[in-house]
Structure 1
């Protein structure tokens, strides 16, 4: 029976799937905490979708896909920030327009590519097809992102809560703003091989949202989000082997289930505290 339970770990493609899942779990979990606190959930969605035209153009011109993805992600983030700061339109409206426009451009370019090689793995991910190059790329990006966030988490935290106070304290607010956007773009690039563009937003929001519902302190929130994301990635990959499904959407379903449980637990705890106060 134990051999049956360990069967998924005996295939090299499953080993790579587990490994890349754990690699991208750390930076996405850390970043999700800042995005949740700052209210940038839609920004994560926008950047992940806006990367598509950059990927397609990079493939057409023969450039590395990671270069096109990062350029498109940063272009979307910078354009969104510029339009929001220089117009009366609210930031969420600007993000919706920019992200839908760039995603539409990417789809048009994608349908015009005349080749036998499909780019579906960019949209939906291909955890079962990652190779050493994907692991190294995701590993290097993840290590750099995690290092920056862990070293500067207090600065990013103050910037997320109160930009005015951060500026008054002497912090480079503009630099932190664009540094967080750069980190967001790099993190989405790192998750390309794992979850693809469409499902990457789940990794950038769900772990932080679950941790936010579970703990009170930000340090604990970072730790809980990493544990939740890593366990969900491993459990989703493992379960997908037995139910014959794609790993990425299975991971997203597990994260969604954990979020619902955390939300129900928080709601129950709040109602119980209210009844005690009334008594």
Structure 2
């Protein structure tokens, strides 16, 4: 098996330039997805993240057919769909999840139809759906860095407003915050994060980068900013370890990164100091011991206090 030292040597090998580019894009995408995904997890909007991941597909397909920028194509398609969902979702007779279901399925179907008109359709479709580390151009590396800087800057600028809307929409509207505009902006930021990640992780698996690191961080902290930092760190670690394992064992990159991230989530779920399974079991045993040693009157008094 390829050792970590061998992997580091491959990263500096001029014949394997695609490898450090893939690692850079994947790590940057994981960091951004971790931060954006914190809002996705706290708001319970995982379905919206999935919808956006599918909505970018027609734009990527058009860009591929026209030999344009996949990032820009995906962004345009995702933003248009996000705005349509936000606007149509205001209709009183339609639930938001119904509107999302209509648009993301239609967008994904449109992308498949467009891709079918391109040469090498089957191979191209597979790389978009499941990711690839060998086809990342230099332009994508630069755009990913710019996108990441822009997304993180906007999140920092809108942090308080986005958190306020996520915690209590009614209160946020009452104090004059533009709730609809902030919802659209968050959908746009999710779109940008998704598009950044598609080339290495793939359209099918990209939702995991948004949700799993943030869910892992949710088990480890109660505060929003530390949760964002932990989610970014968890995602970046999964990207590094996942790409190393995929390279060393000749495994699909996207699937390996997602499985590593999932392993981190399971570890946090079991061993989290405050919310893990082991902590809960210890707490139950401690409470059981106190109830066993105390008198019934003492126990009633403790409950009343």
The aligned residue for residue 129 of structure 1 is 135
Mapped contact 1:46–1:99 kept (Cα < 8 A): yes
The answer as to whether partners of 2:4 and 2:244 remain within 8 angstroms in 1 is no
Which stretch of the first structure deviates more once superposed, 210-219 or 101-110? 101-110
Looking at CA atoms only, which structure, 1 or 2, has the larger radius of gyration? 2
Q: Which residue of structure 2 aligns with residue 143 of structure 1?
A: 149
Cα distance in 2 between the residues matched to 1:3 and 1:55:
36
Deviation at 1:275, TM superposition (A): 3.3
1:250 matched to 2:260? The reply is: no
Cα 1:14/1:272, change in 2 over 3 Å = same
Q: Structure 2: which 5+ residue stretches go unaligned?
A: 291-305
What stretches of structure 1 of length at least 5 have no aligned partner?
A: none
263-272 or 142-151: which moved more? 263-272
Distance 2:33 2:54 in 1: 16
Instruction: Provide the alpha-carbon RMSD of the alignment.
Output: 2.1
1:9 is aligned to 11
After TM superposition, the structure 1 stretch with the greater mean CA deviation from structure 2, 133-142 or 10-19, is 10-19
Residue 200 of structure 2 aligns to a residue in which SS? coil
Contact kept, 8 Å, 1:16 with 1:128, in 2: the verdict is no
CA contact (8 A) 1:232 1:251 kept: yes
Deviation of residue 79 (structure 1)?
Answer: 2.2
TM-score norm. by structure 2 comes to: 0.84
Change (3 A) 1:122 1:3: closer
Q: Bigger CA drift: 2-11 or 12-21?
A: 2-11
User: Aligned residues, how many?
Assistant: 278
Residue 199 of structure 2 aligns to a residue in which SS? coil
Deviates more, 1:93-102 or 1:197-206: 93-102
Within 1, Cα distance between the matches of 2:205 and 2:34? 14
Q: TM-score, normalised by structure 1?
A: 0.91
Aligned twin of 2:294: none
Distance of aligned partners of 1:138 and 1:5 in 2 relative to their CA distance in 1, 3 Å threshold: closer
Residue of structure 2 in register with 1:107 after alignment = 112
